[in-house]
Amino acid sequence: MAICGVMRPGHCQLRVLDLEESEKFYTNVMGLQAMGRDASGRSYFKALDEFDHHSVVLRQADRAGMDFYGFKVRDAKTLDQLEADLKAYGVSTERIPAGELLETGERVRFKAPTGHTFELYAEKTKVGNGLGNLNPEAIIDGRKGISPVRLDHWQIHGSDLDGSRDLFINVLGFSLVERILMEDGKTDMAVWLSCSNKAHDIAFVRDERDDTLHHASYYLETWEQVLKAADILTIHRASLDIGPLRHGITRGTTIYAFDPSGNRFETFCGGYDYYPDMDTVVWTWDEIGRGIFYHTRELNERFLTVVT
């Protein structure tokens, strides 16, 4: 088959300080669809055009951040193979039983060198996007809030970037799409990795704060929707970080903002289509500003320092 191994970012479990306030935010402002709570009180959400049961799980906690990051893989056989590959690479894995997350099959959990907890899974109940598979409509009308079409990717920080990068490339089959080099001209400051035709499915940034989240990213189809997302954030007086803007890296357009717990998120659009025969794009230290914020060509302090 032509798409194999790891398919896509499938779910993540986000810590929020006030669950009810967060449910309102993710429903009314972000425009995700509430899929209910489980017995432990976690609240499930899916994006507009996703067909699996959920992609975002909110868990009430006393500090913000992400509990774990889950990738959906091609099938059960792939899950077994990747688990074996992880073990062969020296990574400890754990099987989380089916049903621990609602409507989700067994998950293979492991910790990456940057301290983050990842999961692989092959099964999640399909609920569809509401259009059906028989003679469907071409758009989902009546969108509310920002209403991204899908969870897109994560940018996460930790000190052993090299370790996580190599693990994702050598074991999970990701490709190194873009990289920023540090002042020494050889050490990776940040890497963008893809397991698909997207310009990135995950990005790692070197940062002494292990197991931290810079942002979760949600996908919008057009630059006009990015503008509307910014407008909606203002209408709701949500905390905007920066944007609308374009990235040099991936060429995507975006805005960054914060959920009520201070978790940064991105509403992202565009980015080129990636194929693994493309050369890695390299950014040098002096051009990092333009790489991140293509128009202003300079970073802002908050974007660099705030993680959860």
Binding mask 210-239 for a copy of itself (x = CB under 8 A): -----------xxxx--xx-xxxxxx----
Element holding 77 (H helix, E strand)? helix 76-88
Burial class (CB in 10 A: 0-12, 13-18, 19+), 227: middle
294 noted as active-site residue: no
> Which one, 95 or 297, has the nearer CB to a copy of itself?
297
Shortest Å, Cβ 41 to a copy of itself: 29
The DSSP annotation for 277-303 comes to: TSPPEEE-GGGHHHHHSTTT-S--HHH
Stretch that binds a copy of itself, among 62-70, 104-112, 135-143, 210-218 (CB under 8 A): 135-143
Residues 109, 91: Cα–Cα separation, whole Å: 10
Shortest Å, Cβ 276 to a copy of itself: 5
Whether omega before 97 lies within 30 degrees of 0, making that bond cis, reads: no
Shortest Å, Cβ 134 to a copy of itself: 5
| Contact in structure between 31 and 148 (CB atoms under 8 Å) | yes
Residues 44, 127: Cα–Cα separation, whole Å: 13
> Which one, 16 or 177, has the nearer CB to a copy of itself?
177
Give the footprint of a copy of itself on residues 235-254 (CB under 8 A).
Answer: 235, 240, 242-248, 251, 253
Q: Catalytic pick from 215, 218, 219, 274?
A: 215
Q: Does 111 bind a copy of itself (CB under 8 A)?
A: no
Q: How many CB atoms lie within 10 A of CB 18?
A: 12
Shortest Å, Cβ 40 to a copy of itself: 27
Q: Does 273 bind a copy of itself (CB under 8 A)?
A: yes
Residues 186, 176: Cα–Cα separation, whole Å: 15
| Contact in structure between 52 and 8 (CB atoms under 8 Å) | no
Residues 240, 257: Cα–Cα separation, whole Å: 4
Position among 63, 77, 95, 126 found at the interface with a copy of itself (CB under 8 A): 126
Shortest Å, Cβ 95 to a copy of itself: 21
Q: Does 42 bind a copy of itself (CB under 8 A)?
A: no
Q: Catalytic pick from 11, 53, 153, 157?
A: 153
Q: Does 277 bind a copy of itself (CB under 8 A)?
A: yes
Q: Does 303 bind a copy of itself (CB under 8 A)?
A: no
Q: Does 190 bind a copy of itself (CB under 8 A)?
A: no
Q: Catalytic pick from 11, 116, 200, 214?
A: 200
Nearest to 219 by CA among 47, 70, 54: 47
Give the footprint of a copy of itself on residues 283-302 (CB under 8 A).
Answer: 283-284, 287, 290-291, 294-297
Element holding 44 (H helix, E strand)? strand 43-46
